[in-house]
Amino acid sequence: MNRLRRKLHNTWTRIRATKGLGRDLSIIAGLLVLSSVVGGYILSHQRVSFPWQEKVSYQADFEEAPGVAPGQGQEVRIAGVPVGEITKADFTRDGRARLTLTLKKRYGTVYGNARAFLRPKSQLNEMYVFLVPGGKPAKVLKPGSVIPQAQTTRPIQLDEVLSHLDDKARNAGRIALEESDAALARPGVIPPDLQAADATMLALRPVMEALDTRRDKIARLVTAFADISTAAGQDDARLARMLDSARETLGTLAARDAELDAAVAQLPGFGDDLRTASGAVSQLATQLNPTLDGIKAASDRLPGALAGMSGVVDRLDRTVDLARPVVDGARPLVADLRPLLASARPALADTVAWSYRLDPMTSNLVDHLPDLGAFVYQGNSMLQLEDANGPILRGLVVLGAETITSILEQQHVPPAGTP
C-alpha cells in the first residue's frame, strides 16, 4: 500500500514538473469521456443487448424464413412496439425454419395460443417478427417453448406470385399496369363504376373479416395434413407392405370373380328383406313412443312417490322403536313355549289322519252358516241372564207332539183335521 502511494506521488510530481504534460493528459481524458458518452448513446439506439439485461427466449417454427439474418438487430414487435429481436435461425428435421425470439423480461409472458407473423420491414426484404402473445384460457408457455407452424405465417414473396403466371398472364398484367398508370395520370376521366368499387370493398369487409377468423383453423388443418403426409412418406416399408397387401387382395377378388357376381346377385333380395326389417323397426319405434312417454310421466311422478315413502319409512322406524320393548318382553314367553311346541308335534301328527275330512265338512257347513248364525244368536239371547233393562229370570219349555196333544185334550179342543 505504501509502495503504491509513493509511486502515485512520484508520477504526479513528474507530471507537474513536465511542462504541458498535464494539459495533454486532461485533453486525452476529456476525449475518452466524450467518446464513451457518444458511444453509449449510439449503442443504446442500435438495440445492443447488455449482459445485465434480463431476457426470455422462445422459438417459433415457420414454413420459410426469407430475409432473416440473426444478430443484425431484426426486431420482434408486439402491437408495433419493439420488445426483442431475432437472435438465432435454424431448421428442423422436417425442413422447417425455427427462429429464436429473445424478448425483454417485462414483455416475456407468452401464452399457448400465441401467433407469430414474419413481415417485411422495407422494400429491401428486411424482416421482423410481429408477435401476438395470446391470452387466457390458454396456458403460459415456459421459456424455450416452441410456437408451432400452425400458429405462424410467413410473407408471400413477389417472385412466388409471378412464378405461377404464364406468359399471357404476365403480358396482361403489364398491360393493366400501363393502362392504370395512364388512367391515374388523368383522375378526372376515371369511370364512376371504378369509384363505386370503394363502396363494394367496404361491403365485402365483414366477409373478409369472417374469413380471417377461420385462418387459424385452416392453418391447423393444413399443418395436420402435412404431418400425416410426412409421416406416411417417411415410412416406406409400411407403404410397401400396404401395397403388397392391396395387390394380394385384388388378386384374390379377381380369382373369385364368379362368387362375387353370385353374392352381388343376391343383394336385391337382401335389400328387400332389409327394407321390410326397417319398416318393422319403424313400426316398433312408433309403438315405443307412447311407452316411453308413459315411462317419462312415471319418472316425473316417481320423486313425489319416493318423498311420500320417506314419510312411511319414518313412521315405520317409530313403529319398530315402539315394538322393540314388546318383542323384548315376548322373548321369555317364546322360550317357555318351545317345550310345549316340542310336545305338541306328536299330537299334530295324529291330526293328519282326520284332517282330510275337514274339507267336505267345511263345505257343508258353509251352506248352513245363516241358520247356524241365527241359532247361535237365539241361543245366546235365551241363555243370557240379563238384557238392556237389567237381570232377568228365564225359563226353557220344551214341547213335543205328545205334550201338545195332551194339552189340547185337556182344553177339549179337537186336533186339527178332525170333523
More confident site: 330 or 38: 38
Classify 407 in phi/psi space as left (phi over 0), alpha (psi -120 to 50) or beta: alpha
The whole-number pLDDT of residue 55 equals: 85
Cα distances (Å, whole numbers) of residue 193 to 183, 196, 208: 14, 5, 22
More confident site: 84 or 271: 84
At residue 191 the predicted structure's pLDDT band, cuts being 50, 70 and 90, is low
Asked if the model's pLDDT at residue 88 lies above 60, the reply is yes
Strands 146-147, 55-62: pairing kind: parallel
End-to-end CA distance of the chain: 185
- Across residues 93-106, what is the average pLDDT? 88
The whole-number pLDDT of residue 69 equals: 83
Bridge partner residues of 116 (DSSP)? 131, 152
The whole-number pLDDT of residue 389 equals: 65
The whole-number pLDDT of residue 391 equals: 65
The three grid cell numbers given for residue 47, joined into one nine-digit string? 438495440
Chain segment 129-165, per-residue pLDDT in tens: 999 998 888 888 988 899 998 899 888 776 666 776 7
- Across residues 267-284, what is the average pLDDT? 71
Please, what is the average pLDDT of the chain?
76
To the nearest 10°, the Cα dihedral for 293, 299, 300, 305?
140
pTM: 0.36
- The closest alpha carbon to 117, from 156, 158, 161, belongs to 156
The three grid cell numbers given for residue 225, joined into one nine-digit string? 395434413
More confident site: 111 or 52: 111
Chain segment 8-41, per-residue pLDDT in tens: 777 777 766 676 667 777 888 888 889 888 887 7
CA distance 73 to 89: 13
Amino acid at 331: R
The whole-number pLDDT of residue 154 equals: 86
What secondary structure letter does DSSP report for 180? H
The whole-number pLDDT of residue 353 equals: 66
More confident site: 231 or 290: 290
Least confident of 14-18, 294-298, 388-392: 388-392
Least confident of 74-78, 145-149, 327-331: 327-331
- Across residues 233-261, what is the average pLDDT? 73
- Across residues 373-389, what is the average pLDDT? 67
The whole-number pLDDT of residue 250 equals: 75
- Across residues 165-170, what is the average pLDDT? 75
Amino acid at 367: D
Using a CB cutoff of 8 Å and minimum separation of 24, what contacts does 132-139 make? Answer: 132/78, 133/78, 133/109, 134/110, 135/111, 136/111, 138/111, 138/112, 138/113, 138/114, 139/111, 139/112
The whole-number pLDDT of residue 131 equals: 92
Q: Which strand ranges, in their side-by-side order, compose the sheet holding 146-147?
A: 146-147, 55-62, 97-104, 81-91, 75-78, 127-132, 115-120, 152-153
Chain segment 37-69, per-residue pLDDT in tens: 888 777 666 555 555 567 889 999 998 888 888
Please tell me whether residue 53 adopts helix, strand or coil conformation. coil
- The closest alpha carbon to 56, from 116, 105, 4, belongs to 105
**Cis ω before 137 (30° cut-off from 0):** yes
More confident site: 344 or 146: 146
